[in-house]
Amino acid sequence: MSYILNIDTAVVSASLCLSKDDEVLKLKINPSQKDHASWIHVAIKEMMEEAGISLQELDAIAVSSGPGSYTGLRVSMATAKGLCYALQKPLITVGTLKMMAVAAMDTTTDLLCPMIDARRMEVFTAVYDHSFSEILTPVNIILENDSFKELLQTNSILFFGNGSEKFKSLTTDPNAYFKNVEANAKHMTGLSFSQFQKHEFADLAYSEPYYGKAFYTPFVKPS
C-alpha cells in the first residue's frame, strides 16, 4: 500500500489528490489561477488532516511537470520539491499532456490529442494511443488547416484541452472530433502509481518543469 500526494497547477485550475496506490482518497480543486501559491500549502494541510494521514506517511510526491503555465509550473514544482526535501520522499514527475489524455480516455476514436493554449495560434500538444504511448511526442506547434493531416488520413482523433478550440476553427476533417475535458490531479494517480512501482523517480536536485518553449521576459531599455 502506497500513499502518493499528486499536485497539478499546470494549466488553469490547481488541484491536489491524495491516492492510495491508484485509488483516489481525497481531491481538492482551486479554480482561481491567481492564488495558487497561497492556496496550495493550506490545501495540502487540510486535505491530509481530513484523510487522517500525516505527511510522514506519504510514500512519494508526484507533480504534473508541464507543459503549461510558467508560473503555475514553478509553484507546483517548488512545492513538490520542498516537501520531498523536508520529508525525504521520492519525487515523481508526470507529463501534463499525458495526464490530460487519461482524463479524456475515449475508445470511440483511435487517438487522443490534448492541446494547451500557448497564445496566438500556438499550442502545446502530443498524440497518444489508448495505452497512452506517444504517437507524437510533446511539442509546441503553430496550428494550420492541414495540421495532423497524415495522422487524420488513417485515424480518428479526439482533440481536447483549452487549445483545441483553435484547431476546431481551422479543420473540416471528418476524422477530427472535439470534446470538453476537465483534467485535474486525480487523473495523475494511475500514472504516478505505475511510476512508483517501477521506481521511476525524478532527480530531486535537477528536476525542472517542462515549459515546451523558452520563456521570454520583455526587454526594457534602461532610462
Is 36 in the same domain as 18?
Answer: yes
Is 80 in the same domain as 119?
Answer: no
Q: In the chain, which ranges are E strands?
A: 3-8, 14-20, 23-30, 60-64, 91-94, 111-117, 122-128, 134-142, 157-160, 176-178
Total domains present in the chain: 2
Q: Residue 152 maps to which CATH number?
A: 3.30.420
Is 91 in the same domain as 156?
Answer: no
Domain that holds residue 8: 3-95+183-197
Is 85 in the same domain as 19?
Answer: yes
CB 136 within 8 A of CB 126: yes
Residue 69 lies in a domain: yes
Q: Residue 17 maps to which CATH number?
A: 3.30.420.40
Per-residue pLDDT of the chain (223 residues; tens, 9 = 90+): 899 999 999 988 899 999 999 999 999 999 876 788 889 999 999 999 999 999 999 999 999 999 988 888 999 999 999 999 999 999 999 999 999 999 998 779 999 999 999 888 999 999 999 999 999 999 999 999 999 999 999 999 999 999 999 999 999 999 999 999 999 999 999 999 999 999 999 999 999 988 876 434 344 444 4
pTM above 0.85, yes or no: yes
